[in-house]
Structure formats: structure tokens, C-alpha cells
Amino acid sequence: MESIESEVALPAGTSFKSPYDVRDDVAGLKTLFVNVFFIGEPGEGNPWVLVDAGLAGYASDIKKKARELFGEGTKPEAIVLTHGHADHTGSLKTLLEEWDVPVYAHRLELPYLQGKSSYPPPDPAIGGGGMSYMSWVFPIGPSDFGDHVKAIADNGQIPELPGWRAIHTPGHAPGHVSLFRDKDRTLIAGDAFVTTNQNAITAVATQREEFHGPPAYFTYDWQAAKQSVLKLNNLNPLAAGTGHGVSVRGLDLELGLNKLAHDFEARSIPSSDGRYVKQPAITDENGIVDMPPPISFTVARTTAWSILAGLTLYLVWKGLKSRE
């Protein structure tokens, strides 16, 4: 692997305002537990592109961050979706009410974004932590953003994002893409890999840095997911932002991603009992074609209710304590 010591490495002394920032012109914002990115040189009136739209209810936070970076009255040239899962499109409808801009996604994501198909159901039986156990309540669509959504060209070029290319990285979602800028080897990986254990509530809460494959509970094709990580590792990125977890650079990124790519099964698949581990869901440009039979997730359901009950009791106790 090529050394990270190169002419495109980050300048000495570079600092960032947020642990989710990737480069000086790639700012990150965490919306509860999922990240969005703003690509563009900060400055009043400068052009920029939004990558993903975060959780529902975060439109005002996204617009506030945009104003801080690009000034009052700003709007993006376009919005690019790494994929259409609800945690990456939750605020999209609200944003589009004010920003009449094109939305780009891979053509294999269009059925889930134009109301034609739901995603393959989540896999609570995969285990690995509280987020996985609770995933059976997560929405799977379909969502319908109509004609706002356009297919990314087959060559990966996006007119409003010169210098970048979209790379098809399926496994977590059929049309999942990552964005790469060759000149300085900057990567926005989406959920192709993440830098925290998104399956576990404690890791999500603390944002502890730890390289993982895509969130297990929504990954429908594990062999495709592995190939996507290998593809991104072969790019030798120097700086990367992911859909979940902090941004990473330099040696941390080189070593972490390389280890993940060469030890994917052990580090990324929490259990051999999941629905999609031995047989993927089959999808095409119209959505779901076929799926493996469901696996009982009675244990996961019971665990999820226990987690929710415990959290509710904690919040009630905390509220009572605050009144003392």
C-alpha cells in the first residue's frame, strides 16, 4: 500500500472545528447518530453540495450549519444521497420545501426513493447490540420524493460536484454510493464502512472510534458489502467521512480500513444466524425481487422492549431527581 506521506496529505497543523469535518472544504454535521456533509469552500455565497439529509427533525440544524458556512440565504447546488435509508433521508422532504434543487442517487436506489418499493426488512436476529435488537421498528419505506430525484450518471459524474466521482458500493443498500475526490484522495463512504460500532447503543452514544463494516441490521448482502470495503481500501484514501462515527485521516485511516478489509467477516458480521448472512436479498431496478425466509427475532424483540423500558425508567428517574 502506498504511504500516506504524499503531496496530498493534510498540511501540518491542520485543525478542524468538528470531529466530523473531513477537509477544509468538507464539513460534517452529526444529526443525533448519523452524519451529513457539506462539500464546498466556506465563504459567503460560495457554491456547495449537501451529502445526505440526516434524521427527521434536523432540517433546521442542517440549514443553520449551511448559513454558518456559506452565508444567509444559501442553498446547495444539489443534494447527493449515498443511499435512501430513513436515517439518511429523514429531513429531505422538509429541506426540499425551501430548497428546490436536484437530488442525486444511484439508479438502483430510485425504487426506494420514488415510492415503488420498500427496502429489504431489517435483521434483528443479527445481534451485536441494542441498535440491532431495536431495528425491527425502524422504517423501511417506500419514500416518494418524486421527480426531485435523478439517477447519477453511469460514469459516476455529478455536474454540480466537479472533481468528485460516485462509486457504487452496494451491500448495505442496493444503490449505495461512496464519493471520492482523486486529487487529494478524500472519501465520503456513507455506510459502506463506519467508524463506530453502529450496532451497539453504547458505542453510538460515545462515538468511540472503531472501524466496522456497514450497520449490520440493514445490510442485505454481506458478500457485496465485503467487496465494497475492499474497493474503497484499494483507493488508499487519505481522509474519510462516514455515515456514522467521526471522520478519520492519515495513518489511523490507512491502518483501520486496511485491517477491516482483510478481516471483514470477523470484524463486521456479529452473528451467523442473521437472515441475510448465508443468502442475500435479490433486488433490481424495480426493488425487491426475492428474499430469504425470515428468521425469528423473538429474543431481539424481547431485548428491545427491555431496553426501551429501562431507558424510560431512567428518564423518569432523572426527571424526578431534577425536581428535588
The pLDDT score that the predictor gives to residue 310 is: 58
pLDDT of residue 299: 55
| pLDDT confidence band for 234 (50 / 70 / 90) | very high
Q: How many CB atoms lie within 10 A of CB 95?
A: 23
Domain that residue 221 falls in: 26-323
Q: What is the C-alpha to C-alpha distance for residues 160 and 179, in angstroms, rounded to an integer?
A: 13
In this predicted structure, the answer to whether residue 14 has a pLDDT above a threshold of 80 is no
Write the pLDDT tens digit of every residue in 20-29: 999 999 999 9
Among residues 295, 315, 256, 176, the alpha carbon closest in space to that of 1 is found at 256
Percent of the chain with pLDDT over 90: 71
> What is the C-alpha to C-alpha distance for residues 216 and 220, in angstroms, rounded to an integer?
9
Residue 18 counted as domain residue: no
Structural domain includes residue 4? no
Split at pLDDT 50, 70, 90, the class of 6 is very low
Of 131-135, 167-171, 214-218, 231-235, the range with the lowest mean pLDDT is: 131-135
pTM of the model: 0.88
Asked if residues 118 and 112 have their Cβ atoms less than 8 Å apart, the reply is: yes
CATH of the domain at 244: 3.60.15.10
If you average pLDDT over every residue of the chain, what do you get? Answer: 88
Q: Is residue 233 a part of any domain in this protein?
A: yes
Nearest residue to 298 via CA among 132, 129, 133, 138: 133
Q: How far is 76 from 40, CA to CA, in rounded Å?
A: 9
Has residue 17 been placed in a domain?
no
* Exposure b/e, 67-82, CB count within 10 A at least 16 = b: eebbeeebbbbbbbbb
* 294 and 120 Cβ atoms separated by less than 8 Å: no
Helices (H), the chain: 59-70, 86-89, 92-98, 110-113, 130-133, 201-206, 222-233, 250-262, 264-268, 298-323
% pLDDT > 70, the chain:
85
Residue 6 lies in a domain: no
**Beta strands 239-242 and 287-290, pairing class:** unpaired
- Alpha-carbon distance 279 to 290, whole Å? 10
Q: How many helices (H) and strands (E) does the chain have?
A: 10, 13
**How does residue 274 score in pLDDT terms, banded at 50, 70 and 90?**
confident
Band the pLDDT of 13: cuts 50, 70, 90.
Answer: very low
Crossing angle for the helix pair 222-233 and 250-262, to the nearest 10 degrees: 140
| Domains contained in the chain, number | 1
- Predicted pLDDT at 161: 98
Residue 181 corresponds to which cell in the numbers above?
475526490
Q: Is residue 246 part of a domain?
A: yes
Euclidean distance between the first and the last CA atom of the chain, given in angstroms as a whole number: 59
* pLDDT tens digits, one per residue of 175-212: 999 999 999 999 999 999 999 987 777 767 788 899 99
Q: What are the tens digits of pLDDT across the range 245-270?
A: 999 999 999 999 999 999 999 888 86
pLDDT confidence of residue 291: 95
| Rounded mean pLDDT, 260-285 | 89
pLDDT of residue 272: 66
Three-class DSSP category at 142: coil
Taking 60 as the threshold, does the pLDDT of residue 102 lie above it?
yes
Q: How confident is the model at residue 313 (pLDDT cuts 50, 70, 90)?
A: low
Per-residue model confidence (pLDDT) at position 15: 54
Per-residue confidence (pLDDT) for residue 24, from 0 to 100? 96
Confidence of residue 133 (pLDDT cuts 50, 70, 90): confident
- Specify the pLDDT at position 8: 46
| Environment class of 312 (CB within 10 Å of its CB; exposed 0-12, middle 13-18, buried 19+) | exposed
> For position 116, what pLDDT does the model report?
96
Q: Tell me 119's DSSP state.
A: P
pLDDT at 294: 84
**DSSP state letter for 57:** T
Residue 46, domain member (yes or no): yes
User: Is 21 contained in some domain?
Assistant: no
Which positions ≥6 away from 89 have C-beta within 8 Å?
Answer: 52, 53, 81, 113, 143, 145
**Higher pLDDT pick, 87 / 133:** 87
What is the average pLDDT across 298-302? 57
